Amino acid sequence: AQSVAQPEDQVNVAEGNPLTVKCTYSVSGNPYLFWYVQYPNRGLQFLLKYITGDNLVKGSYGFEAEFNKSQTSFHLKKPSALVSDSALYFCAVRANTGGFKTIFGAGTRLFVKA
């Protein structure tokens, strides 16, 4: 069965500092991995995805994520945080075979302090 873990409910970082939001996954076969961001009372906005290839994936708004197969992790990173990055972040996984079900992590709330 697929599962996603986001071990931190909340991450606090000062503006201008690097940020990391952690994600680990479990899925049969090779995974499709995604990061989404959600602002209050809004739907999900796609940030980036990993399918295959280079382990470092670059996405929207300066975010990037590193796929680590041995650690089954897909951590989201940004070199310099902005106050406007404060939001709820979801990691998601979809198996590359079988059904098209996407499973989401519990979400991590990011607070960037000015």
Partner 1 sequence: GAVVSQHPSRVICKSGTSVKIECRSLDFQATTMFWYRQFPKQSLMLMATSNEGSKATYEQGVEKDKFLINHASLTLSTLTVTSAHPEDSSFYICSAGTGRRDEQYFGPGTRLTVT
Question: Can residue 107 be called a binding residue for partner 1 (CB under 8 A)?
Answer: yes
Nearer of residues 17 and 46 to partner 1, judged by Cβ: 46
In one letter, which amino acid is 70? Answer: S
- Beta-carbon contacts of residue 55 (< 8 Å; ≥ 6 apart): 66, 67, 68, 69
Among 3, 17, 26, 42, binds partner 1 (CB under 8 A): 42
- Binding of residue 106 to partner 1 (CB under 8 A): yes
Is 54 buried (19+), middle (13-18) or exposed (0-12) by CB count in 10 A? exposed
Question: How far apart are alpha carbons 19 and 76 in whole angstroms?
Answer: 8
- The alpha carbon of 14 is separated from its chain's Cα centroid by a whole number of angstroms, namely 19
| Binding residue (CB under 8 A) for partner 1 from 49, 66, 75, 86 | 49
Token pair 């991995």 in the structure block, residue: 33
29 sits near partner 1 (criterion: CB under 8 A): no
Residue of 23, 63, 81, 94 interacting with partner 1 (CB under 8 A): 94
The answer to whether residue 54 forms part of the interface with partner 1 (CB under 8 A) is no
* Binding footprint of partner 1 on the chain (CB under 8 A): 32, 34, 36, 41-46, 49, 51, 90, 94, 96, 99-107, 109
